[in-house]
Amino acid sequence: MKGISLLIASLLGAQIACAQSYPAHAVKVVVPWPPGQATDISARIVAQKLQEALGQPFVIDNRPGAGGSIGSDAVAKSPPDGYTLLASSSGPISIMPNVQKTPYDPLKDFSAVSLIAAAPFALVTNPSFPASNAREFIARVRAKPDEYAFSSSGTGATAHMITELFNSMADIKARHVPYKGTAPALTDIMNGQIAYTIETVAATVAHVKSGRLKALGVSFARRTAAMPEVPPLAEAADLPGFDVGAWIGYSAPAGTPREVLARLSGEIQKAMQAQDLRQRYLALGLDPVANTPDEMTAFLRTEQARYGEIVRRANIKVE
């Protein structure tokens, strides 16, 4: 028994030493999107904070392609030593595996580190749409099934999923018109050709402030700093439980030591309190968030199930 106790003590000591000495050299953060995208920018902001706190470079490696699956797969197949991290996000992790085959299992091939950002969405219409609030909007659209159309940045995109969830909870039926990107999807609402969409606050806030779009509610159950005057749809549309948006986080290959994950998570939680980070996030239309590896793991399981249900109910298929 004494030998076993000594062995356990030595293993624990080695784990603590590993966490304390980590990182011993540069850490690579794979961003599966091009430079300038929200995941890229927020990951860079956090990488800089980690670099300052931990004393080693956190180097961004952009590997875009296939809706984020190329870079995500590269991390899934990397050594689980804490020196390759993924700037993960809702598209390639929570949504894509529900609509098409991916070369990785989002819940088995990654170890969660922490969320780093939440991206709220807003229900927007043309300013001339005859509804002054979300309840009036739902009543009008519900009264005329399939007469109104909603746009999205593409079939299976986060905006498409969130709008389908809203339609289902609000008991309305409308036609989906997918576009190749957010800009044209919003342009046709401003032109009056499409009735509405639920798109990111980051993409809509300037148009709302200029009067080219009308915002009737945000997708989180709380108000967002970038659009504080707009109430949550859970309240404005009388949809209890409607609390959804895009997320961005840090993940690592499955099997990465828990001590390393915990150290990274702890530093990210500290970074989220920095005023300069919060101001930069506000300019991006993002809300700063952070949690423990276990909390992020539970969150990802919930998101996976939620989007799977949306896909089944709306019969969404990506060719």
Write out pLDDT tens, residues 159-183: 999 999 999 999 999 999 999 999 9
197, containing H or E segment: strand 196-200
pLDDT attached to residue 317 = 84
Q: Is the domain of 107 the same as that of 208?
A: no
272, 289 contact by CB (below 8 A): yes
Q: Is the domain of 109 the same as that of 148?
A: no
Averaged pLDDT, 13-19: 50
Q: What rounded mean pLDDT belongs to the chain?
A: 93
Q: Using pLDDT thresholds of 50, 70 and 90, give the confidence band for residue 111.
A: very high
Percentage, residues of the chain above pLDDT 70: 94
Q: Is the domain of 26 the same as that of 111?
A: yes
Asked whether residue 30 is domain-assigned, the answer is yes
Q: Is the domain of 53 the same as that of 152?
A: no
Q: Using pLDDT thresholds of 50, 70 and 90, give the confidence band for residue 2.
A: low
Domain boundary among 236, 270, 295: 236
Domain boundary among 236, 259, 294: 236
Label the pairing between strands 175-178 and 149-152.
parallel
317 or 158: whose pLDDT is higher? 158
Structural domain range at position 88: 2-118+246-314
CATH number at residue 109: 3.40.190.150
Q: Is the domain of 127 the same as that of 110?
A: no
pLDDT attached to residue 275 = 96
Write out pLDDT tens, residues 183-217: 999 999 999 999 999 999 999 999 999 999 999 99
Give the Cβ contact number of residue 105 at 10 Å: 11
Q: Is the domain of 133 the same as that of 113?
A: no
pLDDT attached to residue 13 = 46
Number of domains composing the chain: 2
Q: Is the domain of 179 the same as that of 265?
A: no
- Which pTM value belongs to this model? 0.89
Q: Is the domain of 96 the same as that of 168?
A: no
172: left (phi over 0), alpha (psi -120 to 50) or beta: beta
Residue 6 has pLDDT above 90, yes or no: no
Q: Using pLDDT thresholds of 50, 70 and 90, give the confidence band for residue 5.
A: very low
pLDDT attached to residue 8 = 45
Q: Is the domain of 130 the same as that of 96?
A: no
H-only helix segments in the chain: 2-21, 38-54, 69-76, 90, 96-99, 134-143, 158-170, 182-190, 201-210, 233-236, 258-271, 275-284, 293-314
CATH number at residue 157: 3.40.190.10
Asked whether residue 319 is domain-assigned, the answer is no
